[in-house]
Amino acid sequence: MKPEKAGESRDTVSKWRKQAEETWHKRLAASASIGELSMEDAQERLRDLEVRQLELELQNEELRRTQIILQESRDRFSDLYDSAPVGYVTLDAGGTIVAANVSAATLFGTERDRLIGKPLSRFLSKESIRDYDLYRRKVMAGRRRHKATVVMTRDDAATSFFAGLDSIANPDVSHGEQMLVIISDISGLVKAEEAMRQSEERYRMLVTHIPDVTWTLASDGRFAFISESFVKLTGYAAAEWIGQDWTLWMSFIHPEDADRMRKAIENLLQRDAVLDMEYRFRHKDGHWVWHQCRSTFSFGAHGGSRADGILMDISTRKQAENSLRQFNKKLARQVSEQSELVRQHEREHSALAKLATAGRMAAIVAHEINNPLAGVLNSLLLIKKAIPEEHPNYRYVDLVDRELKRMGQIIQQMYQLYKPSPRQKPECDALAATDDVLQILDSTLRAENVVVRLTADAAARSPARIYENELKQVLYNVILNAIHVSKTGDEIEIQFVECEGCLHIRVADHGPGIPADKLSTIFEAFNAGASSERGDGLGLGLPVSRRLLEAEGGRIEVETEVGKGTTFVLILPLVAEPESA
């Protein structure tokens, strides 16, 4: 109810005085006449009246002071009532407004006097009227406070706001059953709650659909929340872990990672560090899964604390990292092998350069020695004619003659093999070059009692694209190796075949073959004995042959079988025939 004003208080005091005077006259009429009293009684009564008058004066003074204090209190209450930040409304039993403060009028966008006598339901939206009726009946039926949220409109009906109602029934005897209502504009709060709800919904959708697991560890070390993705990462349902202590988690971590993980979680719970760990977790089906766990400790708005984290499956990344490490090791190994191969090629190149120099020197020496040797042979022939056959030293003349001729043959072979070749055009008759090499090796073939059988296709007589002397050197090296591994009476087969624009020269022996452990090294420099039983050379024949062929676009291949023999295949590009006009 609205408090009484100061004028109303003074009217009440005058009313009480009038009632007191009327009561006094009635009592006086009912009492004995003064004339019937004795002097002593009259004086006694006069004294009592004076005392009573003083008493009333004192009481009246106290009453005035009390009324002043009460009025001041009522004024303060009235100020508080009108200036309160929320609306105060008093409703009668029918829901009509019988009192309201200024804030209530401001909420509804009207003046306070215009609110009095209007039902509160007039300011409710259509959607809230039914809920309000139920709410009002509930409040009036009891003696407890009830709260509700409704949508209310302002007096112009153009704008609306969310209102929070806080009401209690007031059984005022003088004014009948009433309902005291506090009305607050909670539009901002409702919007904030809606924004919070939407944010929580988005967070829930995010947590539900991302492949990573989000989790919350309470301050007591127990899991308070785990997202549904947990089952995909571990095989266990999230509900199985809610309420479990974090130490249970440790029993599923790989022994090599357990100590690091335990210390990290202990530091996290002591608010000392941020957790960021990679470890292996035993999946429900028994295999190990790589996890990355990140978490931080935080304090809630109401003083609580917790650790929030995210759990990711990094098994694929770990496999990729392992593959990358293996690839890097393999690459490093290949780089090392290639570096060694380059160094080997450099050594071979150096050896070949020396060999080429030695060959050129040998050809020059052979040419220079050949002329004096011819003179010595002619002189020896004259000496032989001058010495009679019966002379005891005549037999030495024949011996010297044979040895000088053998020296001449060796010198001629050296000259033919190492003499500079014309460089106008890489083209030669492979069959003719083979015949020349076989003539050079004729004495060796006869000495070893080895026979050569040569066959050639008609198409194989086309010129090969290689310098003649280079081909002779290759043929010399390969055929000589075949002679060395052949036994007395063996046959070496040389076959010329044209195949896909190339000439294939197959040199096959029936020697012991090349073991598998030596096959990969036969083309390495200074590996004497890998392809020959004697092993008395420098081990440069096959490496030199391969380099010479590759320099002209050809190649050399080997086919071997232990106990049956070896075949070297020289593959040479043929000279292209000129196109007809």
CA distance 190 to 184: 12
CA distance 369 to 375: 10
525-529's contacts with Cβ under 8 Å and 24+ in sequence apart are 525/344, 525/347, 525/348, 525/351, 526/351
| H/E segment holding residue 9 | helix 6-30
For 51, the token pair is: 């005392």
Q: Which region among 110-119, 389-398, 399-408 has the lowest average model confidence (pLDDT)?
A: 399-408
For 565, the token pair is: 């023999």
Q: Which region among 51-55, 227-231, 480-484 has the lowest average model confidence (pLDDT)?
A: 51-55
Distances (CA, A) of 205 to 146, 202, 306, 461, 569: 35, 5, 22, 82, 72
Question: Residue 509 — very low, low, confident or very high, per pLDDT cuts 50/70/90?
Answer: very high
Residue with the bigger pLDDT between 299 and 115: it is 115
CA distance 193 to 32: 81
For 374, the token pair is: 């011819």
pLDDT at 14 over 70: no
Predicted confidence (pLDDT) per residue in 292-308, tens digit: 999 888 775 555 678 88
> What is the pLDDT, as a whole number, of residue 15?
67
Contact between 293 and 275 under an 8 Å Cβ cutoff? The reply is: yes
CA distance 530 to 222: 73
CA dihedral 267, 268, 274, 278 (to 10 degrees): 80
Q: Which region among 1-15, 373-387, 446-460 has the lowest average model confidence (pLDDT)?
A: 1-15
CA distance 327 to 453: 51
Question: Residue 355 — very low, low, confident or very high, per pLDDT cuts 50/70/90?
Answer: low
CA distance 214 to 203: 11
Q: Return the percentage of the chain with pLDDT > 70, whole number.
A: 81
39, burial (CB in 10 Å: exposed 0-12, middle 13-18, buried 19+): exposed
> What is the pLDDT, as a whole number, of residue 244?
92
CA distance 508 to 568: 6
DSSP string, 15-57: HHHHHHHHHHHHHHHHSPPGGGS-HHHHHHHHHHHHHHHHHHH
Closest CA to 365 of 413, 405, 406: 413
> What is the pLDDT, as a whole number, of residue 96?
93
pLDDT at 175 over 80: no
Contact between 119 and 108 under an 8 Å Cβ cutoff? The reply is: no
CA distance 548 to 349: 12
pLDDT, average across residues 80-101: 87
> What is the pLDDT, as a whole number, of residue 454?
92
Q: What is the DSSP letter of 393?
A: T
97, burial (CB in 10 Å: exposed 0-12, middle 13-18, buried 19+): buried
**What is the sign of the dihedral through the CA atoms of 112, 116, 120 and 122?**
negative
pLDDT at 79 over 70: no
For 8, the token pair is: 């109303």
pLDDT at 3 over 50: no
pLDDT, average across residues 101-124: 89
Question: Residue 1 — very low, low, confident or very high, per pLDDT cuts 50/70/90?
Answer: very low
> What is the pLDDT, as a whole number, of residue 360?
67
Regarding beta strands 288-299 and 87-92, do their DSSP bridges make them parallel or antiparallel, or are they unpaired?
A: unpaired
pLDDT at 60 over 80: yes
> What is the pLDDT, as a whole number, of residue 529?
53
